[in-house]
């Protein structure tokens, strides 16, 4: 088991709060130059220089081997280290890096590295608005959120795609986007489905649909002052940009995109920026017809138009 103090040290290491001196970096360089360690130990390497005993303790910890750093979060530690029943863990994730899904009979949570510096804030607002996963106490640099159980929009089957159900889903999506937009949040990503059938909308059996993954969302409250990160996130989801960006663009590519798009973003009004979320809805709806059928378009848009309120000038 770990003492409170050790736990604090592990968490500071994961959060990147424990800055290493040049001497400590040298120690790590010497040790790990040709000394292979298993992948699950990577998040803990800093401890080799800052607390060798703790590093060794984790190396020999079978649970750390299974859960890696995902077992050290405020919401997961007791499930992993203090419970008779071990939680199940599975992994997911694309652009943001490894996402851990931890399921225990008492609680199901998702732990994910944040993808932009304001994601925690935006995910928190989405939770408060009742449209995003519940947010729990986490470690800086990571979200810990409710695992929402249900079917993805793109994978709906049977009578869940009936005209009536799709109409109500359209209404719900109009409500979700109205609420986000009224708080000056531009979602900026595929919503209903992408070309591979991935969706950011989960539809539980008995509660309203939820929109998750605020990894490239932009909060427009500082408009027209945008950070480089925000300009880049705005640019990368433009169809003609995204298509030509590889999975891991170089620093030069990122910088030249920022230079090209900063002036374009600065002269765009907030309304013009958030209006692109409606393009994401329309594009995703068209793609979704390949899986769900053409019959979904009319009822979805009828519902969506009934509830979606484009924020007036004075609201943004």
Ligand X SMILES: Nc1ncnc2c1ncn2[C@@H]1O[C@H](COP(=O)(O)OP(=O)(O)O)[C@@H](O)[C@H]1O
Q: Which is nearer to ligand X, 143 or 258 (CB)?
A: 143
Show the binding pattern over residues 38-77: x = contacts ligand X (CB under 6 A), - = does not: ----------------------------------------
Placement of tokens 């999506």 in the chain: 173
User: Interaction with ligand X in 148-187: which residues (CB under 6 A)?
Assistant: 148
Question: In this complex, which beta carbon is closest to ligand X, that of residue 28 or of residue 241?
Answer: 241
Count Cβ atoms below 10 Å from residue 311 Cβ, excluding itself.
15
Residue 185 vs 202, nearer CB to ligand X: 202
x/- site string to Mg ion, residues 196 to 235, per CB under 5 A?
-----------------x----------------------
44-63 b/e (C-beta count within 10 Å ≥ 16 → b): bebbbbbbeebbebbbebee
**SS3 label, residue 90:** strand
In the complex, the smallest distance separating the C-beta of residue 160 from ligand X, rounded to whole angstroms, is: 17
Rg of the chain, C-alpha, whole Å? 22
Q: How far is the CB of 7 from ligand X (least distance, A)?
A: 25
Tell me the CA distances in angstroms from 95 to 168, 184, 189, 245, one per residue in order.
31, 24, 12, 12
Q: Is 218 in the site for ligand X (CB under 6 A)?
A: no
Binds ligand X by CB under 6 A, chosen from 51, 114, 115, 193: 115
Task: Label residue 188 left, alpha or beta by phi (over 0 means left) and psi (-120 to 50 means alpha).
Answer: left
Q: Which is nearer to Mg ion, 9 or 277 (CB)?
A: 277
Long-range contacts of 16-19, Cβ-Cβ distance < 8 Å, separation of 24 or more: 16/140, 16/141, 17/140, 18/46, 18/50
Q: Output the six-digit token pair for 123.
A: 């995910």
One character per residue 124-153, x = contact with ligand X (rule: CB under 6 A): ---------x-----------xxxx-----
Q: Is 213 in the site for ligand X (CB under 6 A)?
A: yes
Query: Measured from the CB of residue 9, what is the shortest distance to ligand X in angstroms?
Result: 28
Residue 213 C-beta: closest distance to Mg ion, Å: 4
Single residue of 5, 78, 92, 221 touching ligand X by CB under 6 A: 92
Q: Interface with ligand X includes 284 (CB under 6 A)? A: no
Tell me the C-alpha distance between 224 and 109, whole Å: 36
Q: Yes or no: say if 218 and 230 are a contact pair by the CB < 8 Å rule.
A: yes
**CA-CA distances (angstroms) from residue 85 to 38, 60, 80, 219?**
26, 21, 8, 41
Site for ligand X contains 94 (CB under 6 A):
yes
Q: How far is the CB of 155 from ligand X (least distance, A)?
A: 10
Considering CB distances under 5 to 8 angstroms, the limit depending on partner class, which of Mg ion, ligand X, none binds residue 93?
Answer: ligand X
Query: Is the CB of 190 or the CB of 230 nearer to Mg ion?
Result: 190
The two three-digit tokens of residue 81, written as one number: 């280290």
Distance CA 247, CA 282 (A): 25
Q: Which stretch binds ligand X (CB under 6 A): 10-18, 46-54, 93-101, 231-239?
A: 93-101
Question: 147: closest CA among 187, 195, 202, 194?
Answer: 202
Q: In angstroms, what is the minimal distance from the CB of 229 to ligand X? A: 15
Judged by the rule CB under 6 A, the positions of this chain that interact with ligand X are 92-96, 99, 110, 112, 115, 133, 145-148, 198, 202, 212-213, 215
Judged by the rule CB under 5 A, the positions of this chain that interact with Mg ion are 213
């Amino acid at each position: 088991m770990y003492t409170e103090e050790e736990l604090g040290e592990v968490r500071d290491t994961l959060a990147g709060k424990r800055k290493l001196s040049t001497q400590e970096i040298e120690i790590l360089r010497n040790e790990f130059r040709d000394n292979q360690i298993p992948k699950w130990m990577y998040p803990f390497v800093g401890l080799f220089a800052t607390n060798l005993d703790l590093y060794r303790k984790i190396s020999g910890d079978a649970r750390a081997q299974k859960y890696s750093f995902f077992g050290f979060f405020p919401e997961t530690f007791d499930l992993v280290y203090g419970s008779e029943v071990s939680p199940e863990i599975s992994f997911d994730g694309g652009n943001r890096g490894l996402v851990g899904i931890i399921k225990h009979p008492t609680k199901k949570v998702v732990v994910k590295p944040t993808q932009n510096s304001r994601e925690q804030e935006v995910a928190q607002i989405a939770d408060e608005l009742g449209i995003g996963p519940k947010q729990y106490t986490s470690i800086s640099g990571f979200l810990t959120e409710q695992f929402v159980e249900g079917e993805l929009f793109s994978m709906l089957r049977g009578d869940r795609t009936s005209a009536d159900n799709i109409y109500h889903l359209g209404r719900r999506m109009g409500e979700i986007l109205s609420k986000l937009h009224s708080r000056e949040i531009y979602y900026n990503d595929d919503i209903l489905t992408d070309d591979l059938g991935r969706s950011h909308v989960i539809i539980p059996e008995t509660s309203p649909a939820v929109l998750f993954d605020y990894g490239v969302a932009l909060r427009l409250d500082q408009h027209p002052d945008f950070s480089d990160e925000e300009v880049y996130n705005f640019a990368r989801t433009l169809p003609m940009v995204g298509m030509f960006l590889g999975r891991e663009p170089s620093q030069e590519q990122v910088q030249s995109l920022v230079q090209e798009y900063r002036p374009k973003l600065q002269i765009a009004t907030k309304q013009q920026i958030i209006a692109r979320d409606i393009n994401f809805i329309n594009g995703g709806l068209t793609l979704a017809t390949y899986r769900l059928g053409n019959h979904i378009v009319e009822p979805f848009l009828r519902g969506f138009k009934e509830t979606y309120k484009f924020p007036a000038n004075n609201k943004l």
